[in-house]
Structure 1
């Protein structure tokens, strides 16, 4: 019987990308709203409606699933955050597609966006490979190896001795 412990931290890079996409959507929506109020229509009405619907579904879904757990006075676990995180994972590629379609017109900008997206995907994969022992419990690591996976001092990685 295996003594591997599973810590369920997930993938910190993909969590960060998802949260950055939420921030990027909010900033982009604020810029669009200010410019529309001043009479500039950066997007055609159909694209604007699609952008607003994207926010309603993804950001609204995130809020509905995340905010109630902020009001709880108990320890929160991964299963509290996971449904909200799924909405942010849906927001990330949709925002990338919006940026590609409506904001970047030149081939040079589109190549830079492709390169940036490839770098993000590579870093998500490398983070997955690094944290596999914590997330899935395989392969088993020693106490020193587990402590070496700590990115932050606040991470409390427990190791059970046999």
Structure 2
């Protein structure tokens, strides 16, 4: 097992000067008694402040593109066929998750404003549970997403995956709250159930359609690949024979 004690880069352009620089002793003080919290804070600061050496990349993207999945990443293309592997999310799930975030925020503001007027539509224990879900899941989404707007580094779609998980949890919480506390008539609840069943079926259809791009099989024809170009910003590889 390798144990890397020090990894340094020379800044001089001349080879001899760079060799002398790299072989000289480092003057950086390294503390071996950092607490867990100190290590954690240092890691977070480095992630926020470091600049990537790669300024641009074919598949780099901005945080705004992640929300509606306007981007993808191609990882592999078969040498002689159209088989390929991408990082490409289920666009229906991503859209529903964004909708769920908006619905949860609207419900929270609605309850908050009504409680300011001494109107309590839900019991106090339910309100506390609702706010706790908002703090944990909404806060988790914000912490894992918003810092990317101030990062000066090359960003990719996979940076959004942790935040996406929290948005999906918020979607579930918003739907449960709507079904239990907002929709008071059985007919309205049955209508919501129908919408949910249609949504789940559309998620399944999107999964079936995009799975060849996720798993690299089965191989699709050029016409089939072109039919999966659901957004103009997606970069799906088409082999030119």
Say if 2:140 and 2:166, in contact at 8 Å, map to a contact too: yes
Give yes or no for contact 1:6–1:137 (8 Å, CA) kept in 2. Answer: yes
Q: Does 1:141 align with 2:220?
A: yes
2:175 is the alignment partner of 1:96? yes
Instruction: Confirm whether residue 9 of structure 1 aligns to residue 96 of structure 2.
Output: no
Larger mean CA deviation between 55-64 and 92-101 belongs to: 92-101
Q: What is aligned with 2:61?
A: none
Cα deviation, residue 78, structure 1: 3.0
- What residue is the counterpart of 2:118 in the other structure? 39
Moved more, 99-108 or 137-146: 137-146
Instruction: Report the counterpart of residue 72 of structure 1 in structure 2.
Output: 151
Q: Report the alpha carbon displacement of residue 161 of structure 1 after superposing the two structures with TM.
A: 5.9
Match of 1:6, SS? Answer: strand
Output the CA distance in 2 between the equivalents of 1:28 and 1:88. Answer: 15
Aligned to 2:85, the other structure's residue is in SS state coil
- How far off its partner does 1:75 sit? 4.0
Q: For residues 124 and 96 of structure 2, what CA distance do their matches in structure 1 show?
A: 28
Of 38-47 and 17-26, the range deviating more from structure 2: 38-47
TM score, norm. by length of structure 2: 0.63
CA RMSD in angstroms comes to: 1.7
* Cα distance in structure 2, aligned partners of 1:152 and 1:126: 17
Paired residue for 1:55?
134
Shift of 1:102: 0.7
Aligned to 2:187: 108
Deviations 1:35-81 (A, max 9, x none): 11122111111010011001001110001111122223444323201
- With CA pairs under 8 Å and 6+ residues apart, which has the higher RCO, 1 or 2? 1
Q: TM-score, normalised by structure 1?
A: 0.91
Q: 1:91-112 CA distances to partner (integer Å, 9 max, x unpaired)?
A: 1222211111111122111111
Please give the secondary structure, in 2, of the residue aligned with 1:140: coil
Q: Any gaps of 5 or more consecutive residues in structure 2?
A: 1-76
Distance 1:144 1:70, change over 3 A: farther
Secondary structure of the 1:7 match is strand
Going from structure 1 to structure 2, the CA distance change for 1:127 and 1:75 (only over 3 Å counts) comes to farther
Matching residue of 2:21: none
Verify the 8 A CA contact 1:146 1:157 in the aligned structure 2: yes
Write 1 or 2 for the structure with the bigger share of helix.
1
Assess if the C-alpha contact under 8 Å between 2:222 and 2:238 holds in 1.
yes
Report the counterpart of residue 68 of structure 2 in structure 1: none
